[in-house]
Structure 1
Amino acid sequence: MTAAPAVLGANRIVPVVVIDGADRAPDLADALTAGGIRCAEITLRTPAGLDAIRATAGRSDFVVGAGTVLTTDQVDAAADAGAQFLVSPGLDDAVIARAAERGIPIVPGVATATEIQRALSHGIHHLKLFPAGLVGGLAAVRAFAGPFPDVKFLPSGGVSVDNAAEYLASPSVFAVSGSWMVPTAAISAGDFDTVRSLSAAATAAIDSSAK
Structure 2
Amino acid sequence: MTDTAAPTTTARHRHDAGPAVAILRGGTGEHVEDVIRVLVESGVRAIELTTNTPRWQDGIAWAVDRYGSGAAVGVGTVLEPRQLDEAAALGATFAVSPHTDPAIGERAHERGLGWYPGAATPTEIVTAWRHGARAVKVFPAAQLGGPAFLQQVLAPLDFVDVIPTGGIGVDDAADYLAAGAVAVGLGSPLVGDALRGGDLDGLRTRAERLVAALAR
For the superposition of Structure 1 and Structure 2, which TM-score range results when normalised by the shorter chain? 0.7 to 0.9
1:11 pairs, out of 14, 18, 42, with 18
What's the CA shift for 1:54?
Answer: 1.5
Cα distance in 2, alignment partners of residues 197 and 120 from structure 1: 35
Q: Which amino acid aligns with 1:196?
A: R
CA RMSD of aligned residues (A): 2.0
2:62 pairs, out of 55, 63, 74, with 55
What's the CA shift for 1:98?
Answer: 0.9
1:167 pairs, out of 176, 188, 194, with 176
- Which SS does the other structure have where 1:100 is aligned? helix
Cα distance in 1, alignment partners of residues 81 and 132 from structure 2: 19
Cα distance in 2, alignment partners of residues 21 and 35 from structure 1: 23
| Correspondences of 1:1-211 after superposition (within 5 Å) | 6-8=14-16, 10-22=17-29, 24-58=31-65, 59-60=67-68, 61-124=70-133, 126-170=135-179, 172-179=180-187, 180-183=189-192, 185-207=193-215, 210=216
Q: Which amino acid aligns with 2:100?
A: L
Q: Which amino acid aligns with 2:52?
A: R
Cα distance in 2, alignment partners of residues 125 and 136 from structure 1: 23
What's the CA shift for 1:169?
Answer: 1.4
TM-score under structure 2 normalisation? 0.84
Indicate how the Cα distance of structure 1 residues 134 and 19 shifts in structure 2: closer, same or farther if over 3 A, else same: closer
What's the CA shift for 1:205?
Answer: 2.3
- Which SS does the other structure have where 2:144 is aligned? coil
Given that 1:20 and 1:48 are in contact with CA atoms closer than 8 Å, whether structure 2 keeps it comes out as no
Indicate how the Cα distance of structure 1 residues 125 and 143 shifts in structure 2: closer, same or farther if over 3 A, else same: farther
- Which SS does the other structure have where 1:37 is aligned? coil
What's the CA shift for 1:193?
Answer: 2.0
Given that 2:29 and 2:54 are in contact with CA atoms closer than 8 Å, whether structure 1 keeps it comes out as no
- Which SS does the other structure have where 2:40 is aligned? helix
Q: Name the count of aligned residue pairs.
A: 202
Instruction: Return 5+ residue gaps in structure 2 as ranges.
Output: 1-6, 8-12
String of CA shifts for 1:147-187, please: whole Å, max 9, x gaps: 212112111112102211111112x210111122212x323
Give identity over the alignment, percent. 37
Instruction: Return 5+ residue gaps in structure 1 as ranges.
Output: none
What's the CA shift for 1:79?
Answer: 1.3
- Which SS does the other structure have where 1:133 is aligned? helix
Q: Which amino acid aligns with 2:172?
A: N
